[in-house]
A = this chain, B = another copy of it.
Amino acid sequence: MKPREETGLAVPISAVERETALSKDTLRMWERRYGFPSPTRDQFGDRIYPPAQVDKLRLIRRLMDKGFRPGKIIPQPYHSLLELLGGSHVQDPFNQNDFITDLLRFISEHRVTELRSALQSQVQNLGLRRFILEVAAPMVRAVGEAWFRGELAIFEEHLFTEVMQNLLRKWAGEARTTELKAPRVLLTTFPNEQHALGLLMVEVLMAMEGAECISFGIQMPIADIVSAVAAHQADIVALSFSQAYPRTRSSEGITELRKALQQHVEIWVGGAGVARIKRVPEKVMIINDLDGIPAEVARWRQKTDHSRLFA
Protein backbone atom coordinates (compact mmCIF):
# COMPACT_ATOMS: atom_id res chain seq x y z
CA MET A 1 0.00 0.00 0.00
CA LYS A 2 2.02 2.90 -1.26
CA PRO A 3 -0.22 5.91 -1.74
CA ARG A 4 0.88 9.03 -3.46
CA GLU A 5 3.77 10.89 -1.94
CA GLU A 6 3.66 14.66 -2.07
CA THR A 7 6.63 14.91 -4.39
CA GLY A 8 6.22 18.29 -5.93
CA LEU A 9 4.39 17.72 -9.18
CA ALA A 10 5.45 14.25 -10.27
CA VAL A 11 2.78 11.58 -9.92
CA PRO A 12 3.00 7.86 -9.07
CA ILE A 13 2.27 5.07 -11.53
CA SER A 14 -1.22 4.49 -10.19
CA ALA A 15 -2.21 8.06 -11.01
CA VAL A 16 -0.76 7.75 -14.50
CA GLU A 17 -2.73 4.57 -15.01
CA ARG A 18 -5.89 6.35 -13.95
CA GLU A 19 -5.30 9.39 -16.12
CA THR A 20 -4.06 7.71 -19.27
CA ALA A 21 -5.92 4.38 -19.05
CA LEU A 22 -2.62 2.66 -19.81
CA SER A 23 -2.00 -0.28 -17.49
CA LYS A 24 0.92 -0.27 -15.08
CA ASP A 25 2.31 -3.28 -16.91
CA THR A 26 2.18 -1.45 -20.21
CA LEU A 27 3.85 1.64 -18.76
CA ARG A 28 6.72 -0.42 -17.38
CA MET A 29 7.00 -2.35 -20.63
CA TRP A 30 7.22 0.79 -22.75
CA GLU A 31 9.86 2.17 -20.44
CA ARG A 32 12.00 -0.92 -21.01
CA ARG A 33 11.34 -1.20 -24.75
CA TYR A 34 11.22 2.34 -25.99
CA GLY A 35 12.90 4.24 -23.20
CA PHE A 36 9.75 6.26 -22.74
CA PRO A 37 8.29 7.17 -20.33
CA SER A 38 11.40 7.64 -18.20
CA PRO A 39 10.06 8.44 -14.73
CA THR A 40 12.31 9.48 -11.89
CA ARG A 41 12.10 7.66 -8.58
CA ASP A 42 10.86 8.79 -5.20
CA GLN A 43 12.52 8.10 -1.86
CA PHE A 44 11.24 4.50 -1.91
CA GLY A 45 12.42 3.69 -5.41
CA ASP A 46 8.92 3.92 -6.88
CA ARG A 47 8.39 5.50 -10.27
CA ILE A 48 7.14 9.06 -10.33
CA TYR A 49 6.18 10.66 -13.62
CA PRO A 50 6.76 14.34 -14.46
CA PRO A 51 3.64 16.09 -15.80
CA ALA A 52 5.21 16.60 -19.22
CA GLN A 53 5.57 12.84 -19.65
CA VAL A 54 2.02 12.27 -18.54
CA ASP A 55 0.88 14.80 -21.13
CA LYS A 56 2.77 12.96 -23.85
CA LEU A 57 1.32 9.67 -22.66
CA ARG A 58 -2.18 11.11 -22.87
CA LEU A 59 -1.43 12.29 -26.39
CA ILE A 60 -0.12 8.86 -27.35
CA ARG A 61 -3.24 7.29 -25.94
CA ARG A 62 -5.45 9.49 -28.08
CA LEU A 63 -3.46 8.75 -31.21
CA MET A 64 -3.66 5.03 -30.49
CA ASP A 65 -7.43 5.33 -30.23
CA LYS A 66 -7.29 6.77 -33.74
CA GLY A 67 -5.39 3.73 -34.98
CA PHE A 68 -1.73 4.67 -34.63
CA ARG A 69 0.59 2.04 -33.22
CA PRO A 70 2.85 2.52 -30.21
CA GLY A 71 6.14 1.71 -31.92
CA LYS A 72 5.59 4.42 -34.49
CA ILE A 73 4.59 7.24 -32.19
CA ILE A 74 6.27 6.70 -28.82
CA PRO A 75 9.77 7.57 -30.09
CA GLN A 76 8.58 10.83 -31.64
CA PRO A 77 8.85 14.11 -29.76
CA TYR A 78 5.80 15.84 -28.38
CA HIS A 79 5.49 18.44 -31.12
CA SER A 80 5.51 15.95 -33.99
CA LEU A 81 2.74 14.07 -32.24
CA LEU A 82 0.78 17.27 -32.02
CA GLU A 83 1.15 17.67 -35.77
CA LEU A 84 -0.11 14.15 -36.30
CA LEU A 85 -3.08 15.07 -34.21
CA GLY A 86 -3.84 18.17 -36.24
CA GLY A 87 -3.21 16.37 -39.51
CA SER A 88 -5.84 13.77 -38.79
CA HIS A 89 -8.40 16.51 -38.50
CA VAL A 90 -10.57 16.67 -41.58
CA GLN A 91 -12.39 19.95 -41.82
CA ASP A 92 -15.77 19.10 -43.20
CA PRO A 93 -17.54 22.25 -44.43
CA PHE A 94 -20.81 20.40 -44.90
CA ASN A 95 -21.22 18.95 -41.45
CA GLN A 96 -19.33 21.59 -39.53
CA ASN A 97 -21.90 24.25 -40.20
CA ASP A 98 -22.17 27.58 -38.48
CA PHE A 99 -24.71 26.43 -36.01
CA ILE A 100 -22.52 23.65 -34.69
CA THR A 101 -19.64 26.11 -34.48
CA ASP A 102 -21.79 28.43 -32.39
CA LEU A 103 -22.71 25.62 -30.06
CA LEU A 104 -19.05 24.64 -29.68
CA ARG A 105 -18.33 28.23 -28.76
CA PHE A 106 -20.99 28.11 -26.05
CA ILE A 107 -19.24 25.09 -24.62
CA SER A 108 -15.75 26.52 -24.66
CA GLU A 109 -16.98 29.81 -23.20
CA HIS A 110 -18.95 27.99 -20.49
CA ARG A 111 -22.25 29.58 -21.41
CA VAL A 112 -24.33 26.70 -20.13
CA THR A 113 -27.71 28.34 -20.11
CA GLU A 114 -27.34 29.54 -23.68
CA LEU A 115 -26.14 26.13 -24.81
CA ARG A 116 -29.11 24.50 -23.14
CA SER A 117 -31.68 26.82 -24.62
CA ALA A 118 -30.10 26.84 -28.08
CA LEU A 119 -30.31 23.05 -28.17
CA GLN A 120 -33.81 23.12 -26.79
CA SER A 121 -35.02 25.49 -29.45
CA GLN A 122 -33.40 23.41 -32.16
CA VAL A 123 -35.43 20.44 -31.02
CA GLN A 124 -38.54 22.57 -31.43
CA ASN A 125 -37.49 23.85 -34.85
CA LEU A 126 -36.25 20.68 -36.45
CA GLY A 127 -38.26 18.06 -34.67
CA LEU A 128 -36.66 15.30 -32.66
CA ARG A 129 -35.45 13.12 -35.51
CA ARG A 130 -33.77 15.84 -37.50
CA PHE A 131 -32.36 17.28 -34.29
CA ILE A 132 -30.62 14.02 -33.51
CA LEU A 133 -29.37 13.42 -37.03
CA GLU A 134 -28.37 16.98 -37.84
CA VAL A 135 -27.42 18.49 -34.51
CA ALA A 136 -26.88 15.96 -31.72
CA ALA A 137 -24.84 13.39 -33.64
CA PRO A 138 -22.61 15.92 -35.42
CA MET A 139 -22.05 17.70 -32.13
CA VAL A 140 -21.04 14.54 -30.34
CA ARG A 141 -18.52 13.97 -33.09
CA ALA A 142 -17.36 17.58 -33.13
CA VAL A 143 -16.93 17.69 -29.36
CA GLY A 144 -15.00 14.43 -29.45
CA GLU A 145 -12.73 15.81 -32.15
CA ALA A 146 -12.24 19.09 -30.34
CA TRP A 147 -11.31 17.29 -27.15
CA PHE A 148 -8.99 15.07 -29.14
CA ARG A 149 -7.19 18.10 -30.52
CA GLY A 150 -6.97 19.58 -27.06
CA GLU A 151 -9.33 22.43 -27.88
CA LEU A 152 -11.79 21.35 -25.23
CA ALA A 153 -10.99 20.31 -21.66
CA ILE A 154 -12.39 17.15 -20.20
CA PHE A 155 -14.72 19.10 -17.96
CA GLU A 156 -16.12 20.94 -20.94
CA GLU A 157 -16.84 17.68 -22.69
CA HIS A 158 -18.45 16.36 -19.51
CA LEU A 159 -20.70 19.36 -19.26
CA PHE A 160 -21.81 19.03 -22.86
CA THR A 161 -22.52 15.36 -22.34
CA GLU A 162 -24.59 16.14 -19.29
CA VAL A 163 -26.65 18.85 -20.97
CA MET A 164 -27.26 16.73 -24.04
CA GLN A 165 -28.14 13.75 -21.91
CA ASN A 166 -30.73 15.72 -19.97
CA LEU A 167 -32.28 16.87 -23.19
CA LEU A 168 -32.36 13.46 -24.84
CA ARG A 169 -33.67 11.69 -21.78
CA LYS A 170 -36.44 14.18 -21.45
CA TRP A 171 -37.47 13.61 -25.07
CA ALA A 172 -36.95 9.89 -24.84
CA GLY A 173 -39.81 9.92 -22.37
CA GLU A 174 -42.03 11.77 -24.83
CA ALA A 175 -41.14 9.49 -27.72
CA ARG A 176 -41.99 6.45 -25.65
CA THR A 177 -45.66 7.26 -25.34
CA THR A 178 -46.45 5.94 -28.82
CA GLU A 179 -48.73 2.97 -28.65
CA LEU A 180 -46.96 0.82 -31.22
CA LYS A 181 -44.60 -1.76 -29.80
CA ALA A 182 -43.12 -3.84 -32.55
CA PRO A 183 -39.63 -5.18 -31.85
CA ARG A 184 -38.64 -5.13 -28.22
CA VAL A 185 -35.15 -3.71 -28.15
CA LEU A 186 -32.69 -4.04 -25.31
CA LEU A 187 -30.05 -1.31 -25.34
CA THR A 188 -26.74 -1.25 -23.49
CA THR A 189 -22.96 -1.15 -23.80
CA PHE A 190 -20.21 -3.54 -22.77
CA PRO A 191 -18.22 -2.99 -19.58
CA ASN A 192 -15.69 -0.14 -19.73
CA GLU A 193 -17.69 1.59 -22.40
CA GLN A 194 -18.62 4.91 -20.81
CA HIS A 195 -20.21 6.72 -23.71
CA ALA A 196 -23.91 7.06 -23.05
CA LEU A 197 -24.91 9.54 -25.72
CA GLY A 198 -24.68 7.22 -28.71
CA LEU A 199 -26.91 4.73 -26.98
CA LEU A 200 -29.37 7.40 -26.02
CA MET A 201 -29.66 8.72 -29.57
CA VAL A 202 -30.32 5.22 -30.84
CA GLU A 203 -32.93 4.74 -28.14
CA VAL A 204 -34.83 7.85 -29.11
CA LEU A 205 -34.70 7.09 -32.82
CA MET A 206 -35.95 3.57 -32.28
CA ALA A 207 -38.64 4.70 -29.89
CA MET A 208 -39.83 7.09 -32.59
CA GLU A 209 -40.17 4.13 -34.92
CA GLY A 210 -42.55 2.66 -32.40
CA ALA A 211 -40.12 0.08 -31.06
CA GLU A 212 -40.34 -0.86 -27.41
CA CYS A 213 -36.98 0.29 -26.09
CA ILE A 214 -35.62 -0.94 -22.79
CA SER A 215 -32.34 0.76 -22.06
CA PHE A 216 -30.09 -0.64 -19.38
CA GLY A 217 -27.63 2.20 -19.55
CA ILE A 218 -23.94 1.61 -19.98
CA GLN A 219 -21.57 -1.14 -18.84
CA MET A 220 -23.48 -4.42 -18.73
CA PRO A 221 -21.45 -7.60 -18.34
CA ILE A 222 -22.19 -10.06 -21.14
CA ALA A 223 -23.66 -12.64 -18.80
CA ASP A 224 -26.15 -10.07 -17.58
CA ILE A 225 -27.11 -9.06 -21.08
CA VAL A 226 -28.01 -12.69 -21.70
CA SER A 227 -30.10 -12.83 -18.51
CA ALA A 228 -31.81 -9.58 -19.38
CA VAL A 229 -32.73 -10.78 -22.86
CA ALA A 230 -34.31 -13.86 -21.36
CA ALA A 231 -36.13 -11.93 -18.67
CA HIS A 232 -37.54 -9.33 -21.03
CA GLN A 233 -38.07 -11.53 -24.08
CA ALA A 234 -36.14 -9.08 -26.21
CA ASP A 235 -36.11 -9.37 -30.00
CA ILE A 236 -33.04 -7.24 -30.55
CA VAL A 237 -29.96 -6.34 -28.53
CA ALA A 238 -28.48 -2.98 -29.54
CA LEU A 239 -24.91 -2.24 -28.51
CA SER A 240 -23.01 1.01 -28.84
CA PHE A 241 -19.22 1.29 -29.15
CA SER A 242 -17.29 4.52 -29.02
CA GLN A 243 -14.10 5.27 -30.90
CA ALA A 244 -11.85 4.39 -27.98
CA TYR A 245 -13.27 0.94 -27.33
CA PRO A 246 -10.56 -1.65 -28.02
CA ARG A 247 -11.43 -3.54 -31.20
CA THR A 248 -10.29 -6.90 -29.91
CA ARG A 249 -12.60 -6.59 -26.95
CA SER A 250 -15.58 -5.57 -29.02
CA SER A 251 -15.37 -8.35 -31.58
CA GLU A 252 -14.48 -10.88 -28.91
CA GLY A 253 -17.43 -9.80 -26.79
CA ILE A 254 -19.86 -9.72 -29.69
CA THR A 255 -18.89 -13.22 -30.71
CA GLU A 256 -19.33 -14.45 -27.17
CA LEU A 257 -22.73 -12.79 -26.93
CA ARG A 258 -23.82 -14.23 -30.27
CA LYS A 259 -23.02 -17.71 -29.03
CA ALA A 260 -24.89 -17.20 -25.79
CA LEU A 261 -28.08 -15.83 -27.32
CA GLN A 262 -30.73 -17.73 -29.16
CA GLN A 263 -30.48 -17.43 -32.92
CA HIS A 264 -33.72 -15.51 -33.35
CA VAL A 265 -32.47 -12.67 -31.15
CA GLU A 266 -30.78 -10.15 -33.40
CA ILE A 267 -27.66 -8.24 -32.38
CA TRP A 268 -27.29 -4.72 -33.70
CA VAL A 269 -24.02 -2.91 -33.13
CA GLY A 270 -23.11 0.64 -33.95
CA GLY A 271 -20.85 3.55 -33.15
CA ALA A 272 -17.39 4.69 -34.19
CA GLY A 273 -15.84 1.72 -32.36
CA VAL A 274 -17.22 -0.84 -34.82
CA ALA A 275 -17.38 1.29 -37.95
CA ARG A 276 -14.04 0.06 -39.27
CA ILE A 277 -14.22 -3.42 -37.85
CA LYS A 278 -12.48 -6.06 -39.94
CA ARG A 279 -14.01 -9.44 -39.38
CA VAL A 280 -17.71 -9.12 -38.73
CA PRO A 281 -19.01 -11.92 -36.55
CA GLU A 282 -21.75 -13.97 -38.17
CA LYS A 283 -25.36 -13.07 -37.67
CA VAL A 284 -24.63 -9.60 -36.35
CA MET A 285 -26.05 -6.44 -37.86
CA ILE A 286 -23.69 -3.49 -38.12
CA ILE A 287 -25.42 -0.13 -38.18
CA ASN A 288 -23.03 2.35 -39.72
CA ASP A 289 -25.33 5.31 -39.70
CA LEU A 290 -27.97 6.60 -37.37
CA ASP A 291 -30.34 7.42 -40.19
CA GLY A 292 -30.30 3.81 -41.29
CA ILE A 293 -32.22 2.83 -38.19
CA PRO A 294 -35.78 3.32 -39.46
CA ALA A 295 -35.04 1.09 -42.45
CA GLU A 296 -33.61 -1.59 -40.22
CA VAL A 297 -36.62 -1.54 -37.95
CA ALA A 298 -38.83 -1.82 -41.03
CA ARG A 299 -36.73 -4.72 -42.30
CA TRP A 300 -37.13 -6.50 -38.98
CA ARG A 301 -40.88 -6.08 -39.06
CA GLN A 302 -41.14 -7.32 -42.61
CA LYS A 303 -38.97 -10.31 -41.86
CA THR A 304 -41.05 -11.15 -38.83
CA ASP A 305 -44.35 -10.82 -40.64
CA HIS A 306 -42.99 -12.95 -43.42
CA SER A 307 -41.87 -15.69 -41.11
CA ARG A 308 -45.24 -15.56 -39.39
CA LEU A 309 -46.94 -16.38 -42.68
CA PHE A 310 -45.15 -19.68 -42.72
CA ALA A 311 -45.34 -20.34 -39.02
| Residue pair A166, B169 in contact (C-beta under 8 Å) | yes
| Residue pair B224, A154 in contact (C-beta under 8 Å) | yes
| Residue pair A248, B3 in contact (C-beta under 8 Å) | yes
| Residue pair A158, B220 in contact (C-beta under 8 Å) | yes
A155 interface neighbour in B4, B154, B156, B225, Cβ under 8 Å: B225
Contacts A3-B252, A227-B153, A252-B4 given: A159-B216 contact, CB under 8 Å? Answer: yes
For residue A173, which residues in chain B have a CB less than 8 angstroms away from its CB?
166, 170
| Residue pair B153, A191 in contact (C-beta under 8 Å) | no
| Residue pair B166, A172 in contact (C-beta under 8 Å) | yes
Check A280 for interface membership: any CB of B closer than 8 A.
no
With both chains docked as a complex, state the minimum distance between the C-beta of A11 and any C-beta of chain B, in angstroms.
Answer: 10
Check A284 for interface membership: any CB of B closer than 8 A.
no
For residue A166, which residues in chain B have a CB less than 8 angstroms away from its CB?
169, 172-173
| Residue pair B18, A217 in contact (C-beta under 8 Å) | no
For residue A155, which residues in chain B have a CB less than 8 angstroms away from its CB?
216, 220, 224-225, 227-228, 231
For residue A231, which residues in chain B have a CB less than 8 angstroms away from its CB?
110, 155-156
User: Which has the most chain B C-beta neighbours within 10 Å: A158, A170, A228?
Assistant: A158
| Residue pair B158, A217 in contact (C-beta under 8 Å) | yes
Q: How far is the CA of A73 from the CA of B225 in the complex (A)?
A: 30
| Residue pair A162, B216 in contact (C-beta under 8 Å) | yes
For residue A221, which residues in chain B have a CB less than 8 angstroms away from its CB?
18-19, 154
Check A53 for interface membership: any CB of B closer than 8 A.
no
For residue A161, which residues in chain B have a CB less than 8 angstroms away from its CB?
217
Q: A228-272, CB under 8 A of B: which get 1 and which 0?
A: 100110000000000000001000100000000000000000000
**Smallest Cβ-Cβ distance to A186: which chain B residue:** B155
Check A165 for interface membership: any CB of B closer than 8 A.
yes
Check A182 for interface membership: any CB of B closer than 8 A.
no
Check A122 for interface membership: any CB of B closer than 8 A.
no
**Smallest Cβ-Cβ distance to A4: which chain B residue:** B252
Which residues of A120-148 are within 8 A (CB) of B? none
Check A214 for interface membership: any CB of B closer than 8 A.
yes
Q: How far is the CA of A61 from the CA of B159 in the complex (A)?
A: 32
Q: How far is the CA of A188 from the CA of B162 in the complex (A)?
A: 11
28 A-B contact pairs sorted by A residue (CB < 8 Å): A1-B248, A4-B252, A18-B191, A18-B192, A18-B221, A19-B221, A110-B231, A155-B216, A155-B220, A155-B227, A155-B231, A156-B231, A158-B188, A158-B217, A158-B220, A158-B224, A159-B214, A159-B216, A161-B217, A162-B217, A165-B169, A165-B217, A166-B169, A166-B172, A166-B173, A169-B170, A170-B173, A194-B219
The 3 closest A-B pairs by CB, nearest first: A155-B228, A155-B224, A158-B216
Binding site for B on A (CB under 8 A): 1, 3-4, 18-19, 110, 112, 153-156, 158-159, 161-162, 165-166, 169-170, 172-173, 188, 191-192, 194, 214-217, 219-221, 224-225, 227-228, 231-232, 248, 252
